[in-house]
Structure 1
Amino acid sequence: MTVSIETLVVGPLENNAYLLTDTTGHHVLVDAADEADRLLEWIGGRRIDTIVTTHRHRDHIGALARMAAATGAALRAGAPDVAAIASRTGVEPTGVWDGDAVAVGADRLEVIGLVGHTPGSIALVAPTEPAATLLTGDSLFPGGVGRTTSPADFDSLHRDVTTKLFARFGDEVRVLPGHGAPTTLGAERPHLDEWRVRGW
């Protein structure tokens, strides 16, 4: 079983919202970031089962409350970020973390916790062909890991993406970040030591 992935860029910071669909027509929205009207037009009449938020930053949750009300979808987010999301949006996702999964019909999106950009940032592993796809929020981009605000946070994020993503998945795995263009683990893997040395 595989899922298909569509992308819509929304908001002034050009956030990527992703719509994942399984072969039986079930849908998961990843990051209801901004511009709820555009998101609803994009979705059309498709029923959203779940909205997943990759982390608590304001540019990733701007349309969450409206999308939750409009769709009736279940809400999921990294457990350490749930309280902050609830306080900023008025809606409270169910917390998920390593070992959990989000259903897309009969398929599953594996949850991977990545600490550093925020305490509760998550990536999702989507079953796509010919290889899996990682939806990494703001934890991994082309050219480096996401922004951190202390050396300890950088060390944590670099360690997590190294051990939980690069050490586990092959070069062919696609990376869909929270902003900007896709990449692959193969394109980024040669630069891991460079990122560690520069500290960002």
Structure 2
Amino acid sequence: MYLETLQVGSLLANCYIIGCEKTNKAACIDPGGNPEKILNVIYNKNLTLTHIILTHGHCDHIEGADLLRERTNAPLLIHELDKDMILSPEKNLSIFLGRGFSLKEADIFLKDGDNIYVGELKLEILHTPGHTKGSISIKVEDMLFTGDTLFAGSIGRTDFPGGSYSTLKKSIMEKILPLGDEVKILPGHGLSSTIGEERMTNPFLR
């Protein structure tokens, strides 16, 4: 599997490009800005983008999605409970950064348990609400892309509209930790980790 991590946008969100080495098909997770930077990786690696997946609807994870969709014709996917966030500068919080924007409607609405195939790669969708109502994590082989649900040493904020601390903790305890200590965590911001490391050291999980 091919994996590229880019820090994009003014809030330095992690954007991930994952690709099937046998077919050169790829998915982009959270194109939160700098779409030309993302496209350069896709073109330079000779990848065909087949999916653009948003872990949730906040502005720092979605800003580059429409241009990426326009240039590649790849469909845009988001959980059904966050689908309205990308349509509203107020709901996606971009208006509060002084540069409000919205996206066109997503092409596919996700739900818990969905599987997405990118070449021979299987992407498993876990609904992990708490940061937003429609937050998802995406499991690919021994990796879990957690968006803003779980970070190295921290967890996602729950003080935005749609956030819930108790729901977030439940998502982590019931959906993420049971996946096993060896699973690598690739969060929406900051450094990677493992489930085992977070189980042992993350102060929010004690």
- TM-score with structure 1 setting the length: 0.88
Contact 1:65 1:91 survives alignment (8 Å): no
Give the C-alpha shift of residue 191 in structure 1. Answer: 4.5
Percent of aligned pairs sharing the same letter? 33
Which of 78, 95, 110 is 1:96 aligned to? 110
> Counterpart in 2 of 1:56?
57
Q: 1:107 to 1:46 in 2, by over 3 A?
A: closer
Match of 2:183 among 145, 152, 173: 173
Count of residues in correspondence between the two structures: 188
One-letter code aligned to 1:190: M
TM-score scaled by length of structure 2: 0.86
1:131-176: per-residue Cα shift (whole Å, max 9, x none)? x1000001100112101118x700100111111010x211111000
Task: Provide the rounded CA distance (Å) in 2 between the counterparts of 1:137 and 1:93.
Answer: 20
Q: Is the 8 A contact 2:199 2:205 kept in 1?
A: no
Specify the alignment match of 2:168 in structure 1. 157
Q: Is the 8 A contact 1:31 1:51 kept in 2?
A: yes
What amino acid is aligned across from residue 137 of structure 1 in structure 2?
Answer: G
Equivalent residue of 1:110, what SS? strand
User: Unpaired runs of 5+ in structure 1?
Assistant: none
Q: 1:116 aligns with which of 130, 140, 149?
A: 130
Instruction: Look up the equivalent residue of 1:82 and give its one-letter code.
Output: K
Residue number in structure 2 paired with 1:9: 7
Structure 2 CA distance for aligned equivalents of residues 69 and 141 of structure 1: 31
Change (3 A) 1:176 1:46: same
Deviation at 1:195, TM superposition (A): 1.5
Moved over 2 A (4+): none
- Give unpaired runs (5+ residues) of structure 2: 89-101
